[in-house]
Structure 1
Amino acid sequence: MTTDRTPPAANAATASPMAALDRNRSAYAGLADVLETAGLAEHALYLNWGYRPVDGRQDWATRELPAGELGQMQARLVLEVLGDTPLDGRRVLDVGCGRGGALALMGRLSAPAALAGADLSAANIAYCRKRHVHLRLRFQIADACRLPYPDGSMDVVFNLESSGAYPHVGAFFHHVHRILRVDGRFCFADVFDADSVALVCTALEQTGFALERERSVNAQVRAARELASPGIWRRLDTALATLGKPGLRQELERYLAAPSSGLFQALEDGRVDYRLFHWRKTRPGAGRIDADVIARLATRSARLDAALQGRVSSAPAPGRANAAASAWFPLNAPDAQAGFNVFALPYAGGGASVYRAWTLPRRPGVAPWQLCPVQLPGRESRFGEPLVDDMATLVDCIAEAIGPHTHRPWALLGCSLGSKIAFEVARRFERQGRPPALLFLMACPAPSLPLGRRISTRAEADFAGEVRHLGGTPPEVLADAEMMRTLMPILRNDSALAEHYVAAADAAVNVPVVMVAASDDHLVTVEEARRWQRHAGAGFDWRLVDGGHFFLRQRRRELTDWLLDALRRSERTTRLASTSPA
Structure 2
Amino acid sequence: MVQHLHARLVCSGCKGELAQSDTALQCRRCQAAYTIEHRYVSMLDRREQVDRPSDWDRKAGEIRDYAEISNSLALSGIGRFATFLNYGYVPTGNEQHAAIEPDEVWNRNSVKLLLEVVGGTAIRERDVIDIGCGRGGNIAALHKYFKPLSMVGLDICPANIAYCSAKSRLTEASYLVGDAENIPFADESFDVVLNIESAHAYPNRARFYQEVYRILRHGGVFLYTELMLEEEVVQNVRLLEEAGLSVIRNQDVTSNVLLSCDENAEQRTGAQGIANNANASTKMEDINDFIALPGSKKYEEMKEGTRQYRMMNLVKR
TM-score range relative to shorter protein: 0.7 to 0.9
- The correspondence of residues 285-324 of structure 1 with structure 2, limited to 5 A, is none
Deviations 1:13-47 (A, max 9, x none): 96632111111111111111122122222332121
When the two structures are aligned, how many residues end up with a matched partner? 273
Alignment identity in percent?
28
Residue 209 of structure 1 contacts residue 280 of structure 1 at CA under 8 Å; is this kept in 2?
A: yes
Is the 8 Å Cα contact of residues 254 and 310 (structure 2) preserved in structure 1? Answer: yes
Q: Secondary structure at the match of 1:275?
A: strand
CA deviation profile, 1:445-502 (whole Å, cap 9, x unmatched): xxxxxxxxxxxxxxxxxxxxxxxxxxxxxxxxxxxxxxxxxxxxxxxxxxxxxxxxxx
1:17 to 55, 71, 93: 55
Letter in 1 for 2:75: T
Does the Cα contact within 8 Å between 1:87 and 1:111 map onto a contact in 2? Answer: yes
User: For 2:268 and 2:260, how far apart are their aligned partners in 1?
Assistant: 14
Which of 180, 184, 194 is residue 216 of structure 2 equivalent to? 180
Cα 1:240–1:99 change in 2 (3 A) is closer
Contact 1:104 1:135 in 2 (8 A): no
Amino acid across the alignment from 2:117? V
Shift of 1:240: 4.2
* Structure 2 partner of 1:39: 77
**Match in the other structure for 1:215:** 251
Give deviations 1:531-577, integer Å, cap 9, x for gaps. xxxxxxxxxxxxxxxxxxxxxxxxxxxxxxxxxxxxxxxxxxxxxxx
TM-score, structure 2 as length reference: 0.81
| Larger strand fraction of residues | 2
The Cα shift of 1:263 comes to: 0.6
Of 66, 85, 89, the residue aligned with 1:51 is 89
Higher helix share: 1
Give the Cα–Cα distance (whole angstroms) in 2 for the partners of residues 63 and 51 of structure 1: 14
After superposition, the Cα gap between the structure-2 partners of 1:80 and 1:240, relative to the gap in structure 1 and judged at 3 Å, is closer
Q: Is 1:132 the counterpart of 2:196 in the alignment?
A: no
Runs of 4+ in 1 over 4 A off after TM superposition: none
Higher relative contact order, structure no. (Cα contacts within 8 Å, ≥ 6 residues apart): 2
CA–CA distance in structure 1, aligned partners of residues 74 and 263 of structure 2: 22
**Aligned Cα RMSD in Å?**
2.2
How is 1:84-123 mapped onto 2 (pairs within 5 angstroms)?
84-123=120-159
SS at match of 1:204: helix
Asked if the contact 2:258/2:302 (under 8 Å) is kept, the reply is yes
- Give runs of aligned pairs for residues 170-569 of structure 1, distance below 5 A: 170-234=206-270, 235=272, 236=274, 239-240=277-278, 243=281, 245=282, 248=284, 251-282=286-317
The SS at the match of 1:277 is strand
Amino acid at match of 1:227: E
Q: Offset of 1:61 from its aligned partner?
A: 0.6
Shift in alpha-carbon separation, 1:240–1:15, aligned structure 2, 3 A = closer
Query: 1 CA distance for matches of 2:209 and 2:13?
Result: 12
Q: In structure 2, how many angstroms separate the alpha carbons of the residues matched to 1:23 and 1:94?
A: 21
Q: Aligned pair in 2 of structure 1 residues 237, 101: CA closer, same or farther (>3 Å)?
A: closer
Larger Rg, first or second structure (1 or 2): 1
Distance 1:3 1:280, change over 3 A: farther
Structure 1 position 242, deviation (Å): 5.7
1:158-169 matched pairs, under 5 angstroms: 158-169=194-205
- Asked whether the 8 Å contact 2:265–2:294 carries over to 1, the reply is no
Counterpart of 2:22 in structure 1 is: none
TM-fit CA distance, 1:70: 2.3
Question: What is aligned with 1:2?
Answer: 10
Name the CA distance, whole Å, in 1 between partners of 2:98 and 2:143: 16
Q: Answer yes or no: is the 8 Å Cα contact 1:193–1:272 preserved in 2.
A: yes
CA–CA distance in structure 2, aligned partners of residues 217 and 151 of structure 1: 32
Conservation of the 8 A alpha-carbon contact between 2:268 and 2:276: no
CA distance in 1, matches of 2:290, 2:278: 15
Name the CA shift for 1:183/1:238 in 2 (closer, same or farther; >3 Å): closer
CA separation in 2, counterparts of 1:15 and 1:122? 20
Displacement after TM superposition at 1:4 (Å) = 2.9
C-alpha distance in 2 between matches for 1:237 and 1:64? 28
- Residue 83 of structure 1 corresponds to which residue in structure 2? 119
TM-score (norm 1): 0.45
SS in structure 1 opposite 2:193?
strand
